[in-house]
Structure 1
Amino acid sequence: MHGKGLKFGSYTSAGTNTCDKAGFPGGLGHEQQDANLFALWGVDYLKYDNRDNRGVDARQRYQAMCDALAKTGRPIVYSLCEGGRTTPKVWTWGAPVGNLWRTTGDISDKWSSRIGKAQENRVLDGYAGPGHWNDPDMLEVGNGGMTGTEYRTHFGLWAMMSAPLLIGSDLRKVSDADLAVLTNADVIALDQDTAGRQAAVLSAVGGLVVYNKVLANGDRAVALSNETGATAAIATTAFALGLGGSASYTLKDLWTKPRARPPALRCRTGFRERRAAR
């Protein structure tokens, strides 16, 4: 895999078994043994689930694997797939332990699920930053359950929220249009902006949501997201985005690329999304 320029991700659980119905063993009580094996295999990314935990505190279980991975000497990205199920919530203690943590339950390839995950994750912007990220679950782009506009919204909002962009579809089968979404270099760059700030919600009224992300160079990325089933116009201002003092601003639409600045929106850099009625 490394010879093909790929990274190697593996999966196990912080309990006695994984989620597979066959009952494959998890890592509870065998953290160092498993971590050593992952390092031997050349694993680059470990997703650590929360199955059959036997009542052991989540912080204790996830810290044990964190310590075991560190002792191997191999840098391995550590994903805490705890799902926000336990108290205290994983995003309040996850930063010193792992690199990312699931903030939601499992996503599915439908609009209601996608919106629900975004709504749960978007209020946690204060917990994300370089090296520690909120993870609202994998991308469904290309699986066929949503429209092209809905997939652009999905991908764009995950990028606005600095979420891990984990492709959950078979790349041999996705359409050219969906592949174009997954390979949009500008949106990917927005996700990977070096400041690592998750977008904040400026307003959310009646399913019409304005997101604002401050970028490393001082620009602003803006998402105007319509969560309803009806066509709607959404607008914001440079003042609301924390900008001001200039006579004009340049707008770059990350889906349609450079275009003239519309009078309703004045910002330097923006991601704009409008979803028509289905």
Structure 2
Amino acid sequence: MIRKYFLILIVFQVFQGYSQKFEELALTPPMGWNSWNKFGCNVSESLIMEMADAMAESGMRNAGYEYLVIDDCWQVGRDSLGNIIADPERFPSGMKVLVDYVHSKDLKFGIYSCAGSMTCQSRPGSRGYQFQDARTYASWGVDYLKYDWCFDEGQKAEAAYKTMSDALKASGRPIVFSICEWGESEPWKWGKGIGHLWRTTADIRDCYQCTFDWGGLGVLDIIDKQADLYEFAGPGHWNDPDMLEVGNGGMTPDENKTHFSMWAMLAAPLMAGNDLRNLDKATAEILMNEEVIAIDQDSDGHQARKFMDMGEYEIWAKPLAGGEVAVCFLNRTDEVWKLNYDWKKQTMYFAADVSIHQNVYKVKDLWEHKIIGKTDENLVKEILPHGSLLVRLSKLNK
């Protein structure tokens, strides 16, 4: 009896250790690349290897993009023991070899599954195989799991995701857990401790503002749904407005900058979704803007609040570490916004340790990479249609 008690105690302590490792992951929003937005089901070993090469050689890895995530359609069935099988035609070397290749590029590997009996593309899901799949992923060296919500068959989302969360913790390998439940059961209210990030909306589409009868949202519609979720974000637990469409051709350069600026303001995971093998200069300048990425990756982990709503003009503010603040002026319209902003008259509160009335702050444009004024003078700027102005306020030395 005593021996049984000590065995139980040891198992409990080991599990607690794994849980501690789990909680220490994703202290800033995860950054990486995902195959779905550009390639859908057309994934293969050669594609992922080429993308790993591109991430390493293009500067993306050095900019902070570390997870290379293969989405749906890599799996085709299960063997006689129930082990998940990768498509042998598309992944002839096996998943472990692919993972090792990605790791050899100083990147981390992410994989996809689903809480239902099948994935969204009708491949084998993980329902009933959660612990077995988690052990398999761990044996391959997987670092990140995106877990979808198709064919859920009436399951309760919180319970379903907790089961896989427990399985990942028990696997013994630290694996970032991405809850892809589309926000239907408000995962921001229960996801902390179960996952590291949770989708807040339906899938993103490559457009600034658009609607689809069959589902999906444009960038502006997704932004609107984030406004009241700021209290649920922080180190290790992030609201996820979905992957980036920057570079996929559906938006103008100004719309792409707005997309990236607002994802940074929202402390969103930055998961690129374009073809990195053909990374043009304009796209690279957006995705690898170090100053904008720094807003997203700020160690305090605050999500921006909509500080001022003037209908088609909005001002969002995000407190940063060290008593600084990021401010984004968002022009939703088809016309130029002739901004003339009086910081002291219109700014009442940004953060507890930021006082526009007591201190003077320099204003740095994070796209032009230059100081464009101070808070003791009006900010005058033309913001293009569907564009934005992203600035960082830093206190001037006295």
- What TM-score do the two structures reach when normalised by structure 1? 0.92
Is this contact kept in 1: 2:254–2:386, CA < 8 A? Answer: no
Name the one with the larger strand percent: 2
The aligned amino acid for 1:276 is: P
Please list the CA deviations of residues 8-40 of structure 1 after superposition, one character each: whole Å capped at 9, or x if unmatched. 0100000000011xx211111110000000101
2:84 corresponds in structure 1 to none
Please list the CA deviations of residues 80-125 of structure 1 after superposition, one character each: whole Å capped at 9, or x if unmatched. 0001113xx1110011210000001001111100100111123211
| Partner Cα distance (2:219, 2:258) in 1 | 9
Partner-residue secondary structure (3-state), 1:84 = coil
1:105 aligns to 2:219 (yes or no): no
1:201 aligns to 2:313 (yes or no): no
Unaligned runs of 5+ in 2: 1-101, 210-217, 388-398
| Partner Cα distance (1:104, 1:148) in 2 | 24
1:237 corresponds in structure 2 to 343
Unaligned runs of 5+ in 1: 267-271
| Partner Cα distance (1:218, 1:277) in 2 | 30
1:52 corresponds in structure 2 to 151
Superposed, which structure 2 residues align to 1:121-136 within 5 Å? 121-136=226-241
1:261 aligns to 2:362 (yes or no): no
1:77 aligns to 2:77 (yes or no): no
The aligned amino acid for 2:326 is: A
The Cα of 1:233 is off from its aligned counterpart by 3.1
| Partner Cα distance (1:183, 1:277) in 2 | 21
| Partner Cα distance (2:132, 2:364) in 1 | 50
Residues 273/124 of structure 1: CA separation in 2 closer, same or farther (3 Å cut)? farther
Largest Rg, 1 or 2: 2
The Cα of 1:245 is off from its aligned counterpart by 4.0
- What TM-score do the two structures reach when normalised by structure 2? 0.65
Residues 117/90 of structure 1: CA separation in 2 closer, same or farther (3 Å cut)? same
The Cα of 1:274 is off from its aligned counterpart by 2.6
Superposed, which structure 2 residues align to 1:67-216 within 5 Å? 67-86=166-185, 89-112=186-209, 113-216=218-321
Residues matched between the structures, number: 269
1:276 corresponds in structure 2 to 385
Partner-residue secondary structure (3-state), 1:60 = helix
The aligned amino acid for 2:196 is: N
| Partner Cα distance (1:93, 1:273) in 2 | 42
1:34 aligns to 2:133 (yes or no): yes
| Partner Cα distance (2:291, 2:382) in 1 | 14
Equivalent residue for 1:11, pick from 85, 107, 112:
112
Is this contact kept in 1: 2:332–2:385, CA < 8 A? Answer: no
| Partner Cα distance (2:106, 2:113) in 1 | 24
Is this contact kept in 2: 1:153–1:273, CA < 8 A? Answer: no
Please list the CA deviations of residues 20-74 of structure 1 after superposition, one character each: whole Å capped at 9, or x if unmatched. 1xx2111111100000001011111100000111101001100000000000111
Higher RCO by CA contacts (8 Å cutoff, separation 6 or greater): 2
